């Protein structure tokens, strides 16, 4: 599943799925927000791992790894 990183201003950003699964998140974006990066991932955990790497924040760790590592297919999203 494709994910998008939107930058609203120097302090605010949104990372969400592209397409219908990210519609509610994108509806909250400020006018003028810019799509700056995207990636493909098969699970929330994979998406967040790539996002953390892109941002230079180190290793992503989940409080719910068993749930977050389920693929989108397993969750019925694809």
Instruction: Kindly report, residue by residue over 17-68, the tens digit of the pLDDT.
Output: 999 999 999 999 999 999 999 999 999 999 999 999 999 999 999 999 999 9
Listed by start position, the domains of the chain span 2-68
Nearest CA to 4 out of 19, 45, 71, 12 is that of 19
What is d(CA 46, CA 28) in angstroms, rounded to the nearest whole number? Answer: 24
What's the pLDDT score for residue 21? 94
What is d(CA 57, CA 40) in angstroms, rounded to the nearest whole number? Answer: 19
What's the pLDDT score for residue 77? 85
Q: Which residues pair with 37 in a beta bridge?
A: 5
What's the pLDDT score for residue 54? 97
What is d(CA 47, CA 40) in angstroms, rounded to the nearest whole number? Answer: 7
What's the pLDDT score for residue 10? 87
């Amino acid at each position: 599943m494709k994910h998008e990183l939107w930058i609203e201003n120097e302090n605010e950003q949104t990372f969400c799925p592209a397409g219908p699964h990210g519609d509610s998140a994108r509806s909250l974006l400020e006018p003028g927000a810019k799509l700056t990066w995207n990636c493909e991932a098969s699970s929330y955990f994979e998406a967040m791992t790539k996002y953390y790497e892109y941002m230079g924040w180190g290793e992503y760790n989940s409080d719910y790894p068993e749930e977050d590592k389920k693929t989108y297919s397993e969750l019925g999203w694809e």
